[in-house]
Structure 1
Amino acid sequence: MLAAHRRELILDAVRSRGSVRLRDLIDELGVSMATVRRDVTDLAERGLVARTHGAISPVHSANGDHSPPAPRAHSRPAPTDSALPGAGLTIGMLVPSATYYYPEVIRGARAAGADLGAHLVLGISHYNPEADRSRIDELLAGDVDGLIITVSDQLASTNATADWLAALPVPAVLVERPAELGTGLEHLDSVSSDHAYGACLGVRHLANLGHRSITLVTRRDSPNRALVERGYQAGIREMGIGPLPAVTTPHPEVNPAEFDEAISGVVADVTQRQVSAVLVHNDQDAIVMIQRLHASGVRVPDDVAIVAYDDEVAAIIDTPLTAIAPPKHAVGRAAVELLIARLAHVDERPVQHLSMLPELRIRQSCGATVASLTDS
């Protein structure tokens, strides 16, 4: 995460919660105490926060009010046109992570807010359902006009989260969490990536390269696992090839032994020529997969093709990963645009459930090139 983005997250935490402990920032941002201290020192020297022992708080003016912060480095200038549709609005945004997948969603939301004149305040839940509600309560206590919400898990009729979401006192847009029928949340606008389409796109690409033994690896705790599995099955049916048993892994930090066993099983299937291509959700696990394959003498893409899902870090390894890239920036931007339009016409607009298609980004790990696909 870039320092400028990290410092914006720190400022958002101070604005929404008041005093913030440095220890909490370490946990929320996933960085060291030294990094947090450097960030806090920079913000304090620019007059954006006040330092106390082990914590930071908003800067106060002489009359005790919060003084307006100085312009942030690397941010767009605040719009001055009061005619902008979002002028004067404060939007609360809840995301489960500030370090993987969601930074680009946040950037898209910030860009839309800046263009439309709205101010964005951020809350992070760290995939903790209890923290989802706590962060929302904090945002509501800050008098936000509306909310952009990504809860920790997918929404279902049996999910208790749906009950309190249905009772929100301000308009809200669900992001990357489409509400199933029966949740009682169909009245909320939503913006999501079509992850089923994304997985189908990955299978279609591998099949078009000639692969007929394509397996899927997913994280058991991923909110999008069911959607990715649905897309894999659809792609297999469309291309007329036989499905292989899907492999599910735990989070490697939760159960490293089971994770290693699952990855080793896929490597064994590849070496025994039972699998010729693998679609891996997500980038991090795809990187581990490539490392294990190389250690076993398997060449990527010569012996096996790999397609990753998420495209967060897929391009930066020694064997750049072909990846399915959800439109994260566009999702964040559309969510803000939808919410501001809803705030302007609360009861006059039809509810919108937007679904955006991921794209395939071809790199080295699948064995294809853009030129070869064009020629074929």
Structure 2
Amino acid sequence: MTITAEERRARILEVVRELGTVRVIDLADRIGTAAVTVRRDVAALADAGRLRRSHGAVSLPHDNSAPGPEGRDRVIGMLVPTVGSYFDEIIDGARTAAVAAGARLVLGISTYESADDRAQVDQLLDAGLDGLLLTPNWRPGAETVETGWMRELPVPAVLVERPAPPDSAAAELDSVGSDHRHGVLLALRHLQALGHESVALAARLDSWTAGQVRAGYEDGVRLLGLDPRPVIDIHRPGIETEQLATQITEAVGQGVRAFLVHNDQEAIQLTPLLRARGLRAPDDLALISYDDVFAALASPPLTAVSPPKRAVGAGAVELMLRRIEHGTELPVHHVQLLPELMVRTSCGGAAD
């Protein structure tokens, strides 16, 4: 027999009165209802002031055994599409901020090939989260992606490095990320100041950031009055670098002497291949990498656009803790942090 939401919530309150403090997952087992449904009911009861949530457990509001609304003892889930390179620094920034606030960070990984962020999120929620930092697997052109389920999460969510499409349900969620379009503009402006009237972009196709870099290139070329060039597509990152080197060599033959490459992996693999073709940076061409994870270790050291990766992670945790404490009283925040240009030797400039 199907019971109503009101009956479920009455049963939840009955169990909590009986047991005092109980984990949400145990509560779901006790009343024989799916955990995701119980989490939504608990969220509704907490919003009404009838329950208190903390550290994956619920209690009655007058139970002083549960921790208060400050950061201490909060559990924050973090779902990222990969570990290694770029996201390592974001995770490190988030972990440092969480430790400083007395909170605990729980990590989940949903690979770039995964089509189901929601399943990964549900698994994270079973850890008893107070909030979720979410980097969805959106690709370039993801304006039509389904985001309604993000608004139905039983805990607050902050999007990390993924600005939501403005007409989507996710646009009403907090977000913290890098302004990649501004980062591309920094690179183009620097190359223009060095005397280049045409800059070519070589960019990947497999991530949201790649889409932002491409859009930033189109905007920047127009704003600065540079000669537009067709984007050199990197279809198989790290595999087709020989083909990329050939395309860049051909562009040099057409008079282009400045290149922005997304990302470090491609740029670092590219330089010895170009050298074998008689092209050296910075003597024969100017080269800027995007990401600045390993760019300083290249030979020559690569000038690179450096998104504020650790600051993004830290800012997401700090915003999450404020959201948990203040709830809907805190206005929705869309925070974009500006990248920096790290000038090294690969585009004719010396490190400062």
Superposition TM-score, scaled by structure 2 size = 0.77
- RMSD of Structure 2 on Structure 1 (CA): 1.8
The yes-or-no answer on 1:355 pairing with 2:336 is: yes
1:315 alignment partner in structure 2: 296
Deviation per CA, 1:101-160, whole angstroms, max 9, x where unpaired? 001000110111011111000001121333522321111011111100111225844113
1:267 alignment partner in structure 2: 249
C-alpha separation in 1, matches of 2:199 and 2:261: 11
2:234 alignment partner in structure 1: 249
Instruction: Report 1:1-376 matches (<5 A).
Output: 85-154=70-139, 156-160=142-146, 162-252=147-237, 256=239, 260-270=242-252, 272-369=253-350
C-alpha separation in 1, matches of 2:113 and 2:347: 35
C-alpha separation in 2, matches of 1:177 and 1:291: 33
State, as a whole percentage, how many aligned pairs show the same letter: 45
Deviation per CA, 1:200-228, whole angstroms, max 9, x where unpaired? 11111101011112100100112122211
Query: 1:261: how far off?
Result: 2.7
1:8 alignment partner in structure 2: none
- The structure-2 alpha-carbon separation of the partners of 1:185 and 1:252, relative to structure 1 and needing over 3 Å to count, comes to closer
SS at match of 1:190: strand
Query: 1:332: how far off?
Result: 0.2
C-alpha separation in 2, matches of 1:273 and 1:368: 24
For structure 2, list consecutive stretches of 5 or more residues without a partner in the other structure. Answer: 1-66
| 1:212–1:276 contact (8 Å) kept in structure 2 | no
C-alpha separation in 2, matches of 1:226 and 1:246: 12
Give the stretch that moved more between structures: 320-329 or 225-234.
225-234
Query: 1:370: how far off?
Result: 5.1
C-alpha separation in 1, matches of 2:348 and 2:193: 12
C-alpha separation in 2, matches of 1:369 and 1:244: 27
C-alpha separation in 1, matches of 2:143 and 2:153: 17
Q: Which residue identity does 2:256 align to in structure 1?
A: V
- The structure-2 alpha-carbon separation of the partners of 1:281 and 1:252, relative to structure 1 and needing over 3 Å to count, comes to closer
| 1:309–1:323 contact (8 Å) kept in structure 2 | yes
Q: Which residue identity does 2:90 align to in structure 1?
A: V
- The structure-2 alpha-carbon separation of the partners of 1:99 and 1:370, relative to structure 1 and needing over 3 Å to count, comes to closer
SS at match of 1:318: coil
Query: 1:289: how far off?
Result: 2.0
Query: 1:268: how far off?
Result: 2.1
SS at match of 1:121: strand
Superposition TM-score, scaled by structure 1 size = 0.72
SS at match of 1:369: coil
| 1:322–1:365 contact (8 Å) kept in structure 2 | yes
Query: 1:342: how far off?
Result: 0.2
C-alpha separation in 1, matches of 2:331 and 2:113: 32
SS at match of 1:191: strand
Q: Which residue identity does 1:211 align to in structure 2?
A: H
C-alpha separation in 2, matches of 1:187 and 1:229: 25
C-alpha separation in 2, matches of 1:173 and 1:288: 35
C-alpha separation in 2, matches of 1:141 and 1:370: 48
| 2:295–2:301 contact (8 Å) kept in structure 1 | yes
| Structure number with bigger Rg | 2
Give the stretch that moved more between structures: 299-308 or 224-233.
224-233
C-alpha separation in 2, matches of 1:359 and 1:368: 15
| 1:215–1:278 contact (8 Å) kept in structure 2 | yes
C-alpha separation in 2, matches of 1:171 and 1:137: 14
Deviation per CA, 1:243-290, whole angstroms, max 9, x where unpaired? 11111111236xx45x543431112222x1521000001001111221
Query: 1:360: how far off?
Result: 0.3
Report how many residues are paired.
285
C-alpha separation in 2, matches of 1:235 and 1:110: 34
